[in-house]
A and B are shown apart, each in its own frame.
Chain A
Amino acid sequence: MSSHVYPKEKEIFPGLQLEKVDDRIMTLNVGPQHPGSGHMRIILKVDGDYIVHCDPDPGYVHRGEEKMAEYRNYITNIPHLERPVIHDSCNILYPYCLGVEELLGLEVPERAKYLRVIAAELNRCVYTQYWLAIYGIFLGHSTMFMWPMGDRELVIDLLDKMTGARVTHAYFVPGGVRNDLPPNFEDVCLRQVNYFEKRLKEYADIFYDNPILISRTKDTGILSREDAIKLGTTGSVLRASGVDFDIRKKEPYDVYEELDFQTNVLKEGDSYARSKIPWLDMFESCRIIRDALKKMPKSGSVRVKLKPNPKGGDTEVYRRVESGRGSLGMHIISRGKPQPYRLKISVGSFRNLIAMPHLLTGEMLGNMPAVYWSLNYWPVEADR
């Protein structure tokens, strides 16, 4: 795995020995109270400026979502399940709702499907902007911290109008969405999304085309196509390594197969490509939103009525969607009770975490933030 080679211990002169390898190694605790870590700890061993060992230590925000879900009904699970990633709360509820609908045999109305797609794509933009802002400040680019944070408000404003909440929306319910759109939403949405897309293009000038950024992130932390597949990475990390895999295309759920968008794939597999893919995906999100607004049925019901305390059968489902961080799967085992017997959440962050020791070993310490955050890793979601 490591490209770094230890200097050999040898005698230069009789009696005079080079220092031992262990003397050269310094252990650094990056996190949990470190501005460059997030809610996690990375135990680094550095030899000079090179990282020779990396041991990620998540779990500082572990909340036991899976255990909590076993004690709550299918409906009451909704608000707490979106807590692991509040910026992407629609996408983390998406597989749950799809799975519960499959368990209960519900048919979602057509308009609700479009509303779900719009909410999910807006949420993907919110999450990606937040992620991008932190990527900017990790590289010491304070303007790139402020701009996405400010432009994120545009999308949050739309979601606020749509769902009534700024971050934790609890908008998706099994059988549709919670409420219909407010009047005039389509016009406002189109206008703000268009402006948002215009702002996104300006990020290229200040961030993605910046020569210092390119020299810092190009050819650092290269994840080859084979390794990306072998390590089971997902989402932007996988697509930056040249694997064309987007669940919205490969296993379309709801109305994604009727919408017009493309998958962004880059061949390089370095930090630059990994940081660029989510940004490119936001353009596709804008495209999807515009297309969905056009194709959406203008009226109709947005949710099916549920019986109180619906019970699932004696079966299990595994549904997955493409979230902001890649594949987000939920394995729901039902045993005829109003509560799930077991709910396993498989998140993209956790799966991308496996690539972190692989990528960081052999890198320079200065590359640590650039590589670490390019993994599109959200510590809270990984801990669940």
Chain B
Amino acid sequence: MSSADSTEIVKTDDSSLTSDLDKSLSDSISKKFSNVEIAYVKPDRIRVNVKKEEIIAVASFIRDELHFDHAESVGGVDYPEDKQIEVVYHLGSYTDPSLSKHILALATRAPREDVPRPGNDSTILPSLRDIFPSVSFHERECFEMLGVYFDGHPDNRRLLLPEDWADIPPLRKDFRIKGR
């Protein structure tokens, strides 16, 4: 087969494949929280964008009512043009067999400063560690890689980077790799 047209923009929402469960999950979130934006509902994948003030409440709701019990990954994305840094929690469920295929991406954004001082500037997000203990090391990594300070995390230390790292957080877009 030919894939000549494969580089076109792909449809983000294929409603024919999404199951009723996906729909009901997203509906229950949007019903409960009016400010929450459901970014997309793909087969087994839901993405929810929330404000950072609301993330604790939404996460507690997801854990207690929707039975997502652990974080698969916590990734930070830098958006310099929006002056924001996004943190995406991919949540999964071990306890609920019907949800075992599903990944719920919970995204929130923090303001970004051009001259980062990790821990001492406005790039602060509430930590989800009390709700999902599995995010603790992921949030530490996110702190050192993007400079997002997690308020309420007891252990905001470096994890992977060397102790004498004196540059800006390396996963920000204005940190350029030499020669690239």
Q: Do A and B share a direct contact in the complex (Cβ within 8 angstroms)?
A: yes
A residues in contact (CB < 8 Å) with B: 57-59, 62, 64, 66-68, 71, 102-107, 175, 229-233, 238, 243, 245, 250-251, 304-307, 310-318, 320, 327, 329, 331, 333, 336, 341-342, 344, 346, 350-351, 353-354, 383-384
Which of B3, B136, B171 makes the CB contact (< 8 A) with A67? B171
Which of B3, B7, B158 makes the CB contact (< 8 A) with A305? B3
Are B3 and A304 interface neighbours, CB within 8 A? yes
Which of A59, A313, A315 makes the CB contact (< 8 A) with B161? A59
Contacts A106-B6, A333-B77 given; does A229 touch B12 at CB 8 Å? no
Which of A71, A104, A238, A320 makes the CB contact (< 8 A) with B7? A104
Are B134 and A67 interface neighbours, CB within 8 A? no
Contacts A62-B160, A107-B1, A383-B160 given; does A331 touch B170 at CB 8 Å? no
Contacts of A314 in B (CB 8 A): 9
Contacts A59-B161, A229-B95 given; does A354 touch B137 at CB 8 Å? yes
Are A229 and B10 interface neighbours, CB within 8 A? no
In the complex, which residue of chain B has the Cβ closest to the Cβ of A101?
B6
- In the docked arrangement, what's the CA distance between A232 and B133, Å? 8
Query: C-beta contact mask, B118-148 vs A, less than 8 Å → 1, else 0?
Result: 0000000000000011111110010001000
8 A/B residue pairs, CB under 8 Å, sorted by A: A59-B161, A103-B10, A104-B6, A230-B133, A250-B100, A313-B10, A346-B72, A346-B73
In the complex, chain B residues 160-180 whose Cβ is within 8 Å of any chain A Cβ: 160-162, 170-171, 175, 177, 180
- In the docked arrangement, what's the CA distance between A344 and B86, Å? 13
Are A344 and B137 interface neighbours, CB within 8 A? no
Are A59 and B160 interface neighbours, CB within 8 A? yes
7 nearest A-B residue pairs (beta carbon): A232-B134, A346-B73, A344-B75, A232-B70, A59-B160, A313-B9, A250-B100
In the complex, which residue of chain B has the Cβ closest to the Cβ of A246?
B100
Are A346 and B137 interface neighbours, CB within 8 A? no
Q: How far is the CB of A353 from chain B (nearest CB, A)?
A: 6
Q: B45 contacts the other chain (Cβ, under 8 Å)? A: yes
Which of A231, A307, A351 makes the CB contact (< 8 A) with B4? A307
Which of B47, B103, B161, B175 makes the CB contact (< 8 A) with A62? B161
- In the docked arrangement, what's the CA distance between A68 and B150, Å? 25
Are A307 and B100 interface neighbours, CB within 8 A? no
For this complex, into which size category does the number of interface residues on chain B fall?
A: 35 or more
Are A307 and B101 interface neighbours, CB within 8 A? no
Contacts A103-B10, A305-B3 given; does A346 touch B75 at CB 8 Å? yes
Are A318 and B6 interface neighbours, CB within 8 A? no
- In the docked arrangement, what's the CA distance between A243 and B94, Å? 7
Contacts A231-B134, A342-B75 given; does A329 touch B6 at CB 8 Å? no
Q: B62 contacts the other chain (Cβ, under 8 Å)? A: no
Q: How far is the CB of B164 from chain A (nearest CB, A)?
A: 12
In the complex, chain B residues 85-115 whose Cβ is within 8 Å of any chain A Cβ: 88, 90, 94-95, 100-101, 103, 105
Are B177 and A229 interface neighbours, CB within 8 A? no
Are A331 and B75 interface neighbours, CB within 8 A? yes
Are B1 and A304 interface neighbours, CB within 8 A? yes
- In the docked arrangement, what's the CA distance between A194 and B138, Å? 41
Q: B37 contacts the other chain (Cβ, under 8 Å)? A: no
Q: How far is the CB of A249 from chain B (nearest CB, A)?
A: 9
Are A311 and B77 interface neighbours, CB within 8 A? no
Q: B82 contacts the other chain (Cβ, under 8 Å)? A: no
Contacts of B8 in A (CB 8 A): 105, 313
Contacts of B100 in A (CB 8 A): 245, 250-251
User: In this complex, which of A229, A316, A350, A383 has the most chain B Cβ atoms within 10 angstroms of its Cβ?
Assistant: A316
Contacts of A68 in B (CB 8 A): 177
- In the docked arrangement, what's the CA distance between A304 and B1, Å? 7
Contacts of B177 in A (CB 8 A): 67-68, 71
Q: B159 contacts the other chain (Cβ, under 8 Å)? A: yes
Q: How far is the CB of A331 from chain B (nearest CB, A)?
A: 5
Are B170 and A64 interface neighbours, CB within 8 A? yes
Contacts of A313 in B (CB 8 A): 8-10, 12
- In the docked arrangement, what's the CA distance between A66 and B103, Å? 21
- In the docked arrangement, what's the CA distance between A178 and B4, Å? 19
Are A305 and B2 interface neighbours, CB within 8 A? yes
Contacts A313-B10, A351-B134 given; does A307 touch B75 at CB 8 Å? no
In the complex, which residue of chain B has the Cβ closest to the Cβ of A243?
B94
Q: B22 contacts the other chain (Cβ, under 8 Å)? A: no
- In the docked arrangement, what's the CA distance between A320 and B4, Å? 26
- In the docked arrangement, what's the CA distance between A26 and B78, Å? 42
